[in-house]
Amino acid sequence: MWWWRKVRRANLPADVREAFGSIGQFAVSAELADNYPPAKPILRDKYPDGNLKLYGQEWMREQTDRAARREDRLETVEVAILIFVFVGVVADCLIVAHELGWIGSVGH
């Protein structure tokens, strides 16, 4: 749908994406924090040139976009269910009104 958030996919090497996926968002955010002990020092050893921070920021942005899109989808489903319930209630009210004779039958 046009109102769902677009996921800005991070341009990451496959091994970095796999590593971030395996350690999770909390550990990646801990890696990005300057004064926090590293959750996975092997990542800092593998990318000592500072790319780890850039990769981590891009990956976290992608994860945030995915979460926002999921929320958008859930909200869309909730609105659709609400509309169907409303239409069902209106239809039931019309049926009851017809049965009570408040609404005349067509063609009789």
Q: Does the global pTM surpass 0.95?
A: no
| 40/16 Cα distance (integer angstroms) | 12
User: pLDDT above 90 covers what percent of the chain?
Assistant: 36
| 29/39 Cα distance (integer angstroms) | 9
Look at residue 8 and give its three-state secondary structure.
coil
Domain definitions of the chain by residue range: 14-77
Rounded mean pLDDT, 97-107: 78
Q: DSSP of 51-76, one letter per residue?
A: HHHHHHHHHHHHHHHHHHHHHHHHHH
- Residue 23 structure tokens: 């350690």
Letter string b/e over residues 17-33, b meaning 16 or more CB atoms within 10 A of that residue's CB: eebbeebeeebbebbbe
Tens digits of residue pLDDT in 54-85 = 888 999 999 999 999 999 999 999 999 999 99
